[in-house]
Amino acid sequence: MQTRAGLVALVGLPNVGKSTLMNALIGEKLSIVTPREQTTRERVLGILTEDGVQAVFVDTPGLLEPRYLLQESMLAEAVSAVTDADVVVLLVDPTRREEPVPGGEVLERLKARGDALRVAVNKVDIASESQLEKAVDWCRSELAVEPLRISAVTGQGLDELGAVLRSLLPESPFLYPEDDLAVQSVRFFVEELIRETIFEEYAQEVPYSAVVRVEEYREAEDPIYIRARVFVERESQKGILIGKGGAAIKKLGSGAREKIEAFVGRRVYLDLWVKPLAGWRKKENLLRRLGYRIGSEH
């Protein structure tokens, strides 16, 4: 049987529902989801293999106007995905006031994908009819496409979207084993689940200033031993993360551990540490040390 396979990039402004959509299409929670913008910092790849077709979905950081070096890296991840993927899905949120994508290079790259570009207007379950009409008009006038209307939360329109995407993928052997659901390592998802919990438990700038790296993962032990370090930008943020008498970090550890145990299907001992790394979001050497790609590395 001739098989199809390829990359499907999910792109759009921050918080339009890209991560929710990928999780819904695959049927597993791979991308972390929070109500706050700019949660996704790096590409997350999820794999759906069925009926001779393998779609490798690429959840990307939001298309934004960068204010510092980390955001420049995030934007470059998204823009390179637009260029590299076999199919690009631009997700549009009709409930937002601003244009669905920044103008300039991003819009031109989307237009350049021609027939490989599909547009989905998300959140149709909560948008008003006038909001939907405005979003659809934008898609027609700017990109000359008729968008699909979907809700990543309720599942409306997802069967149709999935069928369209499968039909667009090129004939190809599968890129990954049929049983695989993700490309990144378990360590990556552990880091993301801890970071998601930070977004849930802390306010203001702390979640955006935090990055998590797993320093030790001993799978042979029972429970699995995981030592992870949370890097923040300032000493004061370390104090907030730890809390009075360690109460805050204890709550963070408990919440994150439950998610990790559900993800790996085993008991986990989570050993959390916090360390300031001054201004890491704006310093090239620190971003590289933390594993982010900068500039031409994308």
The structural domains of the chain, with segments of one domain joined by +, span 4-168, 186-297
24 is written with which tokens? Answer: 């819904």
Closest Cα partner for 95 from 42, 141, 153, 25? 153
CATH topology for the 4-168 domain: Rossmann fold (3.40.50)
**Cα dihedral 215→220→222→228 (10° resolution):** 10
| pTM, 2 dp | 0.93
Q: How far apart are CA 281 and CA 226, in angstroms?
A: 25
- Residues 119-137 have pLDDT tens digits of 999 999 999 999 999 999 9
Q: How far apart are CA 273 and CA 119, in angstroms?
A: 42
pLDDT score of 38? 86
pLDDT score of 103? 80
Residue 117: its H or E element? strand 117-121
Q: How far apart are CA 24 and CA 30, in angstroms?
A: 10
Q: Which residue has the tokens 């706050």?
A: 36
170 is written with which tokens? Answer: 């090129």
**Cα dihedral 45→48→49→53 (10° resolution):** -90
Closest Cα partner for 82 from 110, 44, 111, 120? 110
Burial class (CB in 10 A: 0-12, 13-18, 19+), 151: buried
pLDDT score of 298? 64
Q: What b/e readout covers 52-71, taking b as 16+ CB neighbours within 10 angstroms?
A: ebbbbbbbbbbbbeeeebbb
168 is written with which tokens? Answer: 């667009």
- Residues 30-77 have pLDDT tens digits of 999 988 888 999 999 999 999 999 999 999 999 988 999 999 999 999
Q: Which residues of the chain have pLDDT under 50?
A: none
Q: How far apart are CA 161 and CA 112, in angstroms?
A: 21
**Nearest 5 degrees, angle CA 163-CA 49-CA 148?**
25
pLDDT score of 295? 73
For 186-297, CATH gives 3.30.300.20
* Sheet of strand 211-218, all strands in order from the earlier edge strand to the far edge: 211-218, 224-232, 268-276
Report the chain's mean pLDDT, rounded to a whole number: 95
